[in-house]
Copies of this chain bind each other. A is one copy, B any other.
Amino acid sequence: MTDRGDGAPAPSVASARARMRDVAQAARVDQSIVSRVLRNDPHLKIRPETRERVLRAAAELNYRPNAAARSLRTARTMMIGMVVPDLANVVYERIARGVSERAVPAGYVVMVAAGSAGMQLGEIAGRVDGLLFGGATDEATAPGEVEDDGVPMVLVNRRERWGVPTATVDDQAGTALAARHLIALGHTRIAHIGGPHNADTGRRRLLGFRRAMEAASLEVPEEFVVEARYDEESGYAATARLLEASPRPSAIVASNLLGAVGAMAAVSAAGLRIPQDVSLVGFHDAALAAYLNPPLTTVRMPLEEMGRRAVDGLLALMRGESDVDDVEVREPPELVVRGSTAAPGASS
């Protein structure tokens, strides 16, 4: 009886948010009917005419279910959180795309929490039905606490001994592929810029590199393996160190994309050219890589698929399944050859 009864109900004014009870009143049915109609309860037998009335009333009142009330009642938020250490890293875009592809059709809203997470982890955990914990950096960001909170969670692109299922790609195959590409081009002095040693992706990528080199009976001098964070600055510094070796490497496998960008800058700064003096392969592919100067040869990992599979695992966990296995995406890495790699040149 608030603003009804006067012909035109001024649809978009909808002052105070309508509750389900208001809709019920307007449609002259019980609230529970409204609930069932709006959620398409398959058990509900209702005559079309009544359903029509309900639907129209809801539309007219611009009714939106109250998420908090629903969550309280059902004990589900229908929201999945994805925690990433850093919004600046372009690879998360591809992972997130895969995540959405799978989560949205399943009825979930996906939201990402950025920042050297862990900070608000507790807060976030309480607001989602499941957590995708992405980003390989920083051991300190151990979500042990979150486990305690009992929130289903899977680690994306990262393996740890936390008893939490993981979704990863075959990092080892990736760097091996990069190394083999360089070897095939005729390189023998190949260096590797690894990830932080506390990141397991770093360890796996290094391993793949070493294996490929061994398989080709190529030496990897100690000074040809350096550690770096996954950003430009660190890739730059690592490369600068690498180029001081003598003889210096004729090719470098960078174990991440941003690091490779830094590496390119360092090579230039040293007065050397890519690929004539130094060949470079980056790890992970993104639009950016194609537009660098020169265009960067990369190993394209199936990041979207990893995102999808991570959601599959998470949904299983959320369903209460206890035997959720780690998944390593089988889709093989793909070498995207661009301008940053070539046969070793004449210069030393």
Q: A124 touches which one: B109, B150, B264 (CB < 8 A)? A: B109
**A38 contacts which chain B residues (CB < 8 A)?**
none
| New A-B contacts (12) at CB < 8 Å, excluding given A69-B72, A96-B115, A232-B290 | A14-B150, A65-B126, A68-B69, A68-B72, A68-B77, A71-B71, A97-B115, A100-B114, A109-B120, A111-B124, A236-B291, A292-B292
| A43-73 contacts to B (CB < 8 Å) | 62, 64-69, 71-72
| 1/0 contact string of A283-302 vs chain B (CB within 8 Å) | 00011101111110000000
- Closest chain-B Cβ to A92's Cβ sits at a distance in Å of 6
Q: A86 touches which one: B93, B119, B268 (CB < 8 A)? A: B93
Q: A96 touches which one: B114, B288, B295 (CB < 8 A)? A: B114
Is there an interface contact between A92 and B87, defined as CB atoms closer than 8 Å? yes
* A9 proximal to B (CB < 8 A): no
Closest to A68 in B: B71
- Closest chain-B Cβ to A164's Cβ sits at a distance in Å of 15
Closest to A267 in B: B293
**A92 contacts which chain B residues (CB < 8 A)?**
87
Is there an interface contact between B126 and A67, defined as CB atoms closer than 8 Å? yes
* A122 proximal to B (CB < 8 A): yes
**A79 contacts which chain B residues (CB < 8 A)?**
127
A261 and B291 contact, Cβ closer than 8 Å, known pairs A120-B109, A122-B64: yes
Q: A232 touches which one: B77, B262, B291 (CB < 8 A)? A: B291
The 30 listed contacts between A and B (C-beta, < 8 Å) are A14-B150, A17-B150, A64-B125, A67-B127, A68-B68, A68-B72, A69-B72, A71-B72, A87-B93, A88-B90, A88-B287, A93-B114, A96-B115, A97-B115, A100-B114, A109-B123, A110-B113, A111-B111, A111-B112, A111-B113, A111-B124, A231-B287, A232-B287, A236-B291, A264-B291, A265-B291, A265-B292, A268-B293, A268-B294, A292-B293
* A148 proximal to B (CB < 8 A): yes
* A81 proximal to B (CB < 8 A): yes
- Closest chain-B Cβ to A228's Cβ sits at a distance in Å of 13
| 1/0 contact string of A313-333 vs chain B (CB within 8 Å) | 000000000000000000000
- Closest chain-B Cβ to A292's Cβ sits at a distance in Å of 7
Is there an interface contact between B67 and A111, defined as CB atoms closer than 8 Å? no
Whole-angstrom CA separation of A124 from B109 in the bound complex: 7
| 1/0 contact string of A98-115 vs chain B (CB within 8 Å) | 001000100001111111
**Which among A68, A77, A112, A126 has the highest number of chain B CB atoms within 10 Å?**
A68
Q: A66 touches which one: B67, B88, B126 (CB < 8 A)? A: B126
Secondary structure class of chain A's binding surface, majority of residues: mixed
* A233 proximal to B (CB < 8 A): yes
* A347 proximal to B (CB < 8 A): no
Closest to A13 in B: B148
Q: A90 touches which one: B68, B90, B115, B292 (CB < 8 A)? A: B90
Closest to A111 in B: B111
- Closest chain-B Cβ to A78's Cβ sits at a distance in Å of 8
| 1/0 contact string of A165-192 vs chain B (CB within 8 Å) | 0000000000000000000000000000
**A233 contacts which chain B residues (CB < 8 A)?**
287
**A231 contacts which chain B residues (CB < 8 A)?**
287
Is there an interface contact between B62 and A148, defined as CB atoms closer than 8 Å? yes
